[in-house]
Amino acid sequence: MRIVTCLLRGTPLLGLLIICTLASQALAQVRIKDIVVFEGVRKNQLVGYGLVVGLNGTGDRIRNSPFTKKSIEGMLERLGVGNLSNDGLKTKNTAAVMVTAMLPAFAKTGSTIDVVLSSLGDATSLRGGTLIVTPLSGANGEIYAVAQGPIAVAGFNAQGINASIVQGVPTVARIENGATVENEIPFKLNDLESVILSLRTPDFTTAMRITDAINESFGSDVAEAMDLSTVEMYPPDKIPIVDLIATVENILVTPDSVAKVVIDARSGTIVIGADVRIDKVAISQGGLTILVENRLEVSQPAPLSIGGTTVVVPQSTVSVETQQTKFTVLEGDVSLQRLVDGLNAIGIGAPETISILQAIKAVGALHADLEII
């Protein structure tokens, strides 16, 4: 898909940006693998609770983080250190963390994955710490990986008596290849009788185009569209599922989408889809500006006068400026280029453009979804 950036000229607010997506039949074709998700080929979230040790006095304060104290006691008891008194733990070198990771599809036992650590207590920094053995479990409660190792922190925290500076987030860290997969997810593609393709953006037209492209490629009715987001494939005889997916994911199709206008009011960015159409409307933009200026003038007595004093006299000036109202008419079935030309002719800024698009939608002349983020 070709994307053209159009900046409105002569506008009072140069931050207004309109991105016009111009569709081209030849350039808009994409691979099926880029717009669908194959059944079973996905990542799985893992989570665990652990301790980071070796911090330089930047860990959790024991009195404010009772869960950290309990975790330290439990860890030491498992290691053979018991009978700790209530006042025996005053360390500031340990922090409780939540450990998260993504288990890739078909990850095998012994492979490694990255993990992310996030402080759970009031630790100020995780820099220089080491994660103690932490089991990572999935949504079903089963343990699939174990994490451990020295952590890397991108941010830092430095403070003195009267000043401090924080850059990044020193309470979030990563361990590259920090977890080892200990349990595999039992799933085999070749045992499936059919393969489900789930569209990332559900659309009936796109689903039918995918179905037609697959059937045309294999020369038989291999695929069937079940609904706007699902296409089911039945592998031909003697073709393994893996070979079928590898062939299908590289087939080119032209996805379809609904007409939509997306507005980011904070940055003044407006994205208009190529299929957006507008009925015949007349648009005007103008305004009234009232300027009030206050200034102070000093009144002094005449030279050699008796009893005179210096007085400060406030002066106010009120002026009214009327902008010339500009009118433009957009004919029926307006194309994207005509819409941009019409907005350029008015010479408006981002807030006015957003208001005009909302007004056009309100009168029923904008045939598109208007989404404001």
Q: What is the 3-state secondary structure (H, E, C) of the chain?
A: CEEEEECCCCCCCCCCEEEEEECCCCCCCEEHHHCEEECCCCCEEEEEEEEEECCCCCCCCCCCCHHHHHHHHHHHHHCCCCCCCCCCCCCCCEEEEEEEEEECCCCCCCCEEEEEEEECCCCCCCCCCEEEEEEEECCCCCEEEEEEEECECCCEEEECCCCEEEECCCCEEEEEEEEEECCCCCCCHHHCCCEEEEECCCCHHHHHHHHHHHHHHHCCCCEEEEECCEEEECCCCCCCHHHHHHHHCCCEECCCCCCEEEEECCCCEEEECCCCEECCEEEEECCEEEEEEEEEEEECCCCCCCCCCCEEEEEEEEEEEECCCEEEEECCCECHHHHHHHHHHHCCCHHHHHHHHHHHHHCCCEECEEEEC
The answer on 146 and 264 residing in a single domain is: no
Longest dimension (CA), the chain: 118
The answer on 143 and 87 residing in a single domain is: yes
Asked which of 136, 159, 181 is the last residue of a domain, the reply is: 181
pLDDT single digits (tens) 244-253: 899 999 999 9
Quote the pLDDT of residue 48: 96
Quote the pLDDT of residue 112: 95
Rounded CA-CA distance 73/350 in Å is 59
Rounded CA-CA distance 267/273 in Å is 19
Calculated CA dihedral for residues 200, 202, 205, 209, nearest 10 degrees? 30
Q: 197 or 264: whose pLDDT is higher? A: 197
Which of 62-66, 259-263, 341-345 is predicted with the least confidence, judged by mean pLDDT?
Answer: 341-345
CB 217 within 8 A of CB 36: no
The answer on 264 and 364 residing in a single domain is: yes
pLDDT at 317 over 70: no
Rounded CA-CA distance 237/251 in Å is 20
pLDDT at 313 over 50: yes
In this structure, what CATH number is given to the domain that contains residue 232? 3.30.1360
Instruction: Answer whether residue 98 is part of any domain.
Output: yes
Which of 89-98, 165-174, 190-199, 295-304 is predicted with the least confidence, judged by mean pLDDT?
Answer: 295-304
Q: What is the mean pLDDT of the chain?
A: 78
Rounded CA-CA distance 290/269 in Å is 29
Quote the pLDDT of residue 357: 80
The answer on 278 and 150 residing in a single domain is: no
Instruction: Answer whether residue 114 is part of any domain.
Output: yes
The answer on 15 and 91 residing in a single domain is: no
Q: 12 or 238: whose pLDDT is higher? A: 238
CB 3 within 8 A of CB 256: no
Which domain range does residue 111 map to? 44-181
pLDDT at 137 over 90: yes
pLDDT band at 4 (very low <50, low <70, confident <90, very high): very low
The answer on 234 and 277 residing in a single domain is: no
Quote the pLDDT of residue 230: 94
The answer on 151 and 89 residing in a single domain is: yes
Average pLDDT over residues 109-128: 92
The answer on 80 and 139 residing in a single domain is: yes
Average pLDDT over residues 83-89: 62
Instruction: Answer whether residue 292 is part of any domain.
Output: no
Which of 114-118, 119-123, 294-298 is predicted with the least confidence, judged by mean pLDDT?
Answer: 294-298
Q: 1 or 289: whose pLDDT is higher? A: 289
Name residues whose C-beta falls within 8 Å of residue 32's C-beta, 6 or more positions apart in sequence.
Answer: 197, 210, 213, 214, 248, 249, 250, 251, 252, 253
Q: Name the token pair of 24.
A: 């081209």
pLDDT at 296 over 90: no
pLDDT band at 6 (very low <50, low <70, confident <90, very high): very low
Name the pTM for this structure: 0.65
Quote the pLDDT of residue 254: 92
The answer on 353 and 276 residing in a single domain is: yes
- Number of structural domains, the chain? 3
The answer on 124 and 203 residing in a single domain is: no
Average pLDDT over residues 309-336: 60
Quote the pLDDT of residue 50: 94
